[in-house]
Amino acid sequence: MVVTVGLVDPKVQKNIDNIKHYLIKQLPQPYADSKIFHLRGGIDYKNLSVLHKIMMKALYKRTKKLPVEKQTEETQDLINTYNKDVNFVDFESLNEIIVFIEKFS
């Protein structure tokens, strides 16, 4: 079982496809074939390390330069929430993971 946590909406298929694409590149076999769950988290910019703040600023600037027609829901979320505290945590989304774990215990 692999659980991802990120800012993008895990109910959007394109986001799921992107997450899986990067997971396959990063996870050795057999983990890449594991059951994958996606959770939505949050971000508190004031608690980021200096390095992460720099990375987020660079990503924001690059994303902001994209023409509107090339911006996705994900890039719009980044632009709209940049330098703000956001929390998309939904504890109800843990239920599917709990059910999966209970099957194997």
**Rounded Cα gap, residues 19 and 101, in angstroms:** 22
Structural domain boundaries, residue 69? 44-84
pLDDT number for residue 52: 94
The answer for residues whose C-beta is within 8 angstroms of residue 12's C-beta and 6 or more apart is: 73, 74
Examine the domain organization and report whether 24 and 4 are in the same domain. yes
Examine the domain organization and report whether 100 and 69 are in the same domain. no
Give me the residues paired with residue 87 across strands. 42
Return the SS3 of 37: strand
Examine the domain organization and report whether 72 and 96 are in the same domain. no
Examine the domain organization and report whether 79 and 98 are in the same domain. no
Question: What's the number of domains the chain is made of?
Answer: 2
Which parts of the chain have pLDDT scores under 50?
A: none
Examine the domain organization and report whether 99 and 66 are in the same domain. no
**What pTM was computed for the model?**
0.76
Q: Which pair of tokens denotes residue 19?
A: 């997450």
Examine the domain organization and report whether 2 and 34 are in the same domain. yes
Cα 42 vs. chain centroid, distance in angstroms?
A: 9
**Rounded Cα gap, residues 90 and 49, in angstroms:** 25
